[in-house]
Structure 1
Amino acid sequence: MTLAILCSGQGRQHREMFALTGDAPEAAHLFAHAATLLGGKDPRDFVGTEPDEALHRNRAGQILCTVQALAAAAALGDAIPCGVIIAGYSVGEIAAWSIGGLFDATVALDLVVRRAEAMDAATRAGDGLIFVRGLRREELDRLCERYDAAIAIVNPGDAFVIGGGREALDGIAAEARAMHAARIVVLPVEVASHTRRLAGASAVFREVLGSVPVVFPPRTGGRILSGIDAAPVVSLESGLDKLAAQISHTVQWADCLQACVEAGATGFLELGPGHALSAMVAGIDTGLSARSLDDFRSMQGVRGWIAHHLGA
């Protein structure tokens, strides 16, 4: 089996998200560093004691999701083979670069803070995201043009995330209901991620990326995919350009999953939080093996699953 590692984005943070990684000694330094970015509060305590809305604020959410992926990778260690395929959903792309060996893990955590701060500075009051399933891309493109919104993420199976101002999103949701969309959900995100409304944030973040140490080519030999076009990162400068542009450009996640399959991936491990990405894999091909860290009761179980499938 060729393994693909999927790094989750915001939206599925929960109280038990560090159940498997929280006690891993290999991840202790990551939780300690993340605490310095969360006002001195350890992420493991943060998810257990802060109100739900705090877990989903843009800056905190990006830190929590990134430290989860990095802690999982650290705990798994050499159970993750060299040469894996790695893709990150939204902020998960920063974690993907780190797991692939391009960024140091603490640098990645610092970067998501700068990313979140740039996004917050460019955000207008009321901006957000909604999820719509069951309408064609052309139909949603027309609605977005009418309401000055944009498709932020393209997921498999006619499933889309749309970003814009609150009035625009409310209008699109109402029309989508009238068009018999299968599902419409207001997402717990307070920025219009991956839309042109954040073009200024992309520019700011590109400058930040130009000043951080990067190892290229990646020391793990991994195949890291860019979210905006599903292409592997084969050039440092163009890769950094795309990583910054992703903040204000549509994430082509359906294409990323297809690119994993075309590169030979037959097993997918989502590092979480949540099961959203692994569920999407099952949706594109029921013959693929896809699990999330949240499916397991121990890191030993995760290692066993990886070893079993790599040996199959």
Structure 2
Amino acid sequence: MKTAWVFPGQGSQTTGMGVDLAELPVAAEKFQQAESILGWSVLENCRTGDNLSQTLYTQPCLYTIECILVDLLRERGERPDAVAGHSLGEYVALYAAGAIDFETGLKLVKRRAELMNEAEEGSMVALMKFDREQLDAAIAETDGVVLANDNSPLQVVVSGTSEAIETVLSKVKVRRSVRLDVSGAFHSPLMEKAARAFDTVLEPVGFSDATVPLLSNVEPTPETQADALKSRLQQQMTGPVRWREISLRLSGEGIERVVEVGPGKVLTGLIGRTCTDLTLENVGTLEQLNDRG
């Protein structure tokens, strides 16, 4: 069965995630590597949950736990036919596809989290059940707001100045809207300053060709070439997460099964509402790993 691995991003974190993996040799090694790079313990932060709501800690913790799960799936002889990740999750997808190693990815994630944590301009609001044509039109005629996360036919996130977002909301009939607890307008042009600062860290990093196709957030088509994958990642901080299109493309590429590798079931939920013909699985705990045989 042709299988894709997908990796969730910020918002999927839960207190206790990864703690059940701690005694496994591959996990213990990764936790130690992470602590030497970050200067703090991923395992301890996941155990207590004290800082998990802060971008500075959330992103490195998710990256580390998801990379450990990738290693454990590999130990069991599993391999994907394609990979994709939602926002932060794209860094894990790059690791899973062999485009970057764990330490390189974590150093990038660490700097990304620092810059995003420092962002102070704008906000993000999730919208559920809305008229898409009405929303697209409202965004098109309003400066300072973009569609940041196109997650599914019935769930998106808009990002921009608070004033612009309120203008859009006044023009669109929405069943429910939720302001996200983030420091700034992620995946929008308001992140341009942070993106420029991040590029000084990303630019000298060497990428390898991917061993399996990766569908990127800003360009949801299969890609394995190192230069193209790096270029797409450079655009990610200010560009949109086109997850709905990724979901549709996976199905179009002949993928039959999608495994969400990480805590929670956010991505399988979104994919299931977009594509009804895929087998959806989740691997985020030791029990779920062991249930795979």
TM-score scaled to structure 1, two decimals? Answer: 0.84
1:55-100 CA-partner distances (Å, limit 9, x unpaired): 1222211111111210101122243544521001001101100111
Unaligned segments of structure 2, at least 5 residues: none
1:174-193 CA-partner distances (Å, limit 9, x unpaired): 665xx2x2232222322311
1:75 is the counterpart of 2:72: yes
Q: 1:194 aligns with which of 187, 194, 218?
A: 187
Shift of residue 295, structure 1, vs aligned partner: 7.5
Provide the C-alpha distance between the structure 1 equivalents of 2:239 and 2:54, rounded to a whole number of angstroms: 21
1:113 is the counterpart of 2:106: no
Residues 1-312 of structure 1 mapped to structure 2, 5 A cutoff: 1-40=1-40, 42-51=41-50, 54-79=51-76, 81-82=78-79, 84-121=81-118, 123-125=119-121, 127-144=122-139, 145-146=141-142, 148-170=144-166, 172-173=168-169, 176=172, 179=173, 181-216=174-209, 218=210, 221-294=211-284, 297-301=287-291, 303-304=292-293
Note if contact 1:57-1:190 (Cα within 8 Å) is conserved in structure 2.
no
Change (3 A) 1:90 1:70: same
Provide the C-alpha distance between the structure 1 equivalents of 2:62 and 2:231, rounded to a whole number of angstroms: 22
Query: Higher helix share goes to which structure?
Result: 1
Unaligned segments of structure 1, at least 5 residues: 305-312
Provide the C-alpha distance between the structure 2 equivalents of 1:206 and 1:191, rounded to a whole number of angstroms: 19
Note if contact 1:11-1:187 (Cα within 8 Å) is conserved in structure 2.
no
1:262-303 CA-partner distances (Å, limit 9, x unpaired): 1211111111222110112221233321122247724211x3
Counterpart amino acid of 1:34?
Answer: A
Provide the C-alpha distance between the structure 1 equivalents of 2:169 and 2:37, rounded to a whole number of angstroms: 35
Provide the C-alpha distance between the structure 2 equivalents of 1:153 and 1:227, rounded to a whole number of angstroms: 9
Shift of residue 150, structure 1, vs aligned partner: 1.4
Change (3 A) 1:295 1:284: farther
Percent identity between the two aligned chains: 25
Note if contact 2:120-2:183 (Cα within 8 Å) is conserved in structure 1.
no
* SS, match of residue 46 in structure 2: helix
Provide the C-alpha distance between the structure 1 equivalents of 2:77 and 2:202, rounded to a whole number of angstroms: 26
Change (3 A) 1:202 1:150: same
Note if contact 1:2-1:84 (Cα within 8 Å) is conserved in structure 2.
yes
Counterpart amino acid of 1:198?
Answer: M
1:9-65 CA-partner distances (Å, limit 9, x unpaired): 10121112214433331122221232245542x2221123243xx312222111111
Note if contact 1:83-1:223 (Cα within 8 Å) is conserved in structure 2.
no
Change (3 A) 1:194 1:105: same
Provide the C-alpha distance between the structure 2 equivalents of 1:240 and 1:9, rounded to a whole number of angstroms: 19
Change (3 A) 1:296 1:24: closer
* SS, match of residue 292 in structure 1: strand
- Residue 308 of structure 1: aligned partner: none
Number of corresponding residues: 292
Note if contact 2:18-2:285 (Cα within 8 Å) is conserved in structure 1.
no
TM-score scaled to structure 2, two decimals? Answer: 0.90
